[in-house]
A and B are shown apart, each in its own frame.
Chain A
Amino acid sequence: MTDPRILIVGAGPAGIRAAETLVAAGLRPVVVDEGARAGGQIYRRPPEGFTRPPEVLYGPEAPKARALHGVFDRLVAEGRVEHLPQSAVLGFSTAGAHVTGPQGSRVIAHDQLILATGATDRLAPVPGWQAPGVYSLGATQIALKAQGVALGQRVVLMGSGPLLTLVAYQMLGAGAVVEAVLDTAPLSAQIAALPAMFARPALALRGLSMRARLGRRYHAGVTLHEIETDVRGPVAVRWSSASGRGKRSLCDTVGMGWHLRAETQLAGLAGAEFDHSEIWAQWLPRTDRLGRLRPGVYLAGDGLRILGADGAEVAGRLAAAACLADMGRPAPEIAADLARLARLERFAQGLARAFPWPAAMVRSLPDTAVVCRCEGVTAGTLRATVDHGGADANRVKSLGRIGMGRCQGRFCQLAAAELIAAHAGTDPAQVGRLRDQAPVRPVLAGALARSGGSG
């Protein structure tokens, strides 16, 4: 009997722990990852030749980063996983997963599939956000960590979520100029969520201490009005304080984001059903506790539940355990990881309540505001499309092109659903989720033509 062919998509904390668990059971998975070096986004590694140690790059999380990188590098060096870096799965057919990478395109046949596709920033539009020099919060952190650069000379960071405080703290530590940190979450919501966040007391205290370092730059409960721009990009952010006072922060760069959005396109193409989660204000795939979509397909990490890196490590092990059990192989004990998962979920739900999706801000966007950065579709166009086409996300996409651009709706879909719902007097869950379309990444025609063999 030949060994089962197992494909893992993503080499962040979830993908790495899933691979490690399968290797421990004597299997040799294939790991496809878009990064040049394994680690994912939070534990992203700079290119070869960079010299800052993990302690500088990852702060108190450095031991976890070192451990994950070490585990994966050892598995690759010993030939116990096949690692395909800088490669993306574009979609699936009966032949297998269609993968594109430096060697061109190939089809990877597999018996078992573990999707550990992670998350991106969850974005809400602010008038002016389509200008060059406006970035996601994650982008400002990646620039700092993986390239040693600030994306501008004077930065305003805005949005909400744990990354807002973390990025501001890291940028200040690296010597960047941060003009203001504008949090749309009211202080009252943050205080109400504190008990849940003390499910992880050390982490909660670390967040509060980082917040303290931001000093008077940090403002809670703000209302964001506009990113003022000239031809080069941002010149200022206009906002109001919690007490309603109008403010203007000069800047040449903006980093923005509202916590995270699960990356779920491949899960959708693999047959996942989705539920709209009110607390996370997004659609999340439906699986069992271990991440089992059905026997043979498993999800793990932030692409399934937004628990962050620690939760992703746990979810990676659980998905691999489910995979082993379904193949009738001895699976590791899961009770301890299930208990960890429950505690991490309590904390994560506290975070979600402390730093909510800015529904009211999105609903009141002016008609002139761009919602889709790819194709410049405005809130007004979107509302007009709802007027003559109805309040269905996929219909609005067909008629109004929202979500049809190069990012395939990753950065506008949630705001669009909110706007559609507001305009039609319903809620985002009723508006529906955009259908997933392969290829989930744009691909050069040349790369498709340069097709290698199947594997």
Chain B
Amino acid sequence: MITPLPTKGRIHRLAETGRASVAFTLDGVAQVGMAGDTVLTAVLTVAPVLRWSEFGAEVRAGFCLMGACQDCWIWQEDGARLRGCSTPIAEGMRLLTHPPESWP
């Protein structure tokens, strides 16, 4: 059972808003980020968390943004994970806030 995500994002754009759009999906829903966004920025602009589970301690939205805390790993539909703060969003990425169903 996957908890439905609240729809509102947490990140608030202040500058550099004239960039090209980048299309990706989050939990199967089409979303749009901007070229140069990290995965963390693109996801948290449209959703409040990167990873979601029924365990409170596993609800994550990143912490250090400099690759040290490892809090911001996020799933992809193909089962691979990536570190949200240091990976640029790319056209066609299919991201998940929960493990893919094939995951044991």
Contacts and interface: CB of A to CB of B under 8 A. Distances in A.
Interface of A: 34, 36, 41, 46-52, 86, 88, 120-121, 130-136, 138-139, 142-144, 147-153, 174-176, 231-233, 252-253, 263, 370, 373-376, 406-407, 410-411, 441-442, 444, 446
Contacts, number: 135
A147 B39 CA distance: 11
B63 A411 contact: yes
B88 A233 contact: no
B46 interface: no
A373 to B, nearest CB: 7
Nearest to B50: A132
A148 B80 contact: no
Nearest to A56: B15
B41 to A, nearest CB: 5
B48 to A, nearest CB: 5
B102 interface: no
Contacts of B64: 120-121, 135-136, 138-139, 411
B28 interface: no
A86 B86 contact: yes
B71 interface: yes
Given A86-B86, A233-B61, A444-B80, 12 more contacts: A49-B36, A120-B68, A132-B48, A135-B65, A138-B65, A142-B65, A143-B65, A149-B45, A150-B12, A373-B63, A406-B71, A410-B69
A373 B16 CA distance: 32
A142 B61 contact: no
25 contacts: A36-B88, A48-B36, A132-B10, A132-B49, A133-B61, A135-B62, A147-B38, A147-B41, A149-B13, A149-B45, A150-B12, A151-B10, A152-B11, A174-B15, A232-B6, A233-B10, A233-B48, A233-B61, A252-B10, A373-B69, A374-B70, A375-B57, A407-B69, A407-B71, A441-B70
Contact of B10 (A86, A88, A253): A253
A373 B69 CA distance: 9
Contacts of B59: 131-132, 231
Contacts of A232: 6, 10, 48
Contacts of A375: 57
Listed from nearest, the 5 A-B pairs whose CB atoms lie closest are: A132-B61, A148-B16, A148-B15, A406-B70, A139-B65
A145 B104 CA distance: 39
Nearest to A118: B66
B66 A52 contact: no
Nearest to B81: A444
B41 A143 contact: yes
Contacts of B15: 52, 148, 174
Contact of B66 (A132, A142, A174, A175): A142
Contact of B11 (A36, A150, A407, A446): A150
Contact residues on B (Cβ < 8 Å of other chain), bracket: 35 or more
Contacts of B67: 34, 88, 441
Contacts of A252: 10
Contacts of B44: 151
A138 B63 CA distance: 9
Nearest to A47: B36
Nearest to A252: B10
A149 B63 contact: no
B12 A370 contact: no
Contacts of B80: 444, 446
Nearest to A265: B68
Contacts of B18: 51
B22 to A, nearest CB: 12
A152 B14 CA distance: 11
Contacts of B6: 231-232
Nearest to A141: B65
Given A48-B36, A86-B86, A139-B62, A149 B68 contact: no
Q: Which of B13, B35, B66, B73 has the most CB of A within 10 A?
A: B66
Contact of A50 (B10, B16, B62): B16
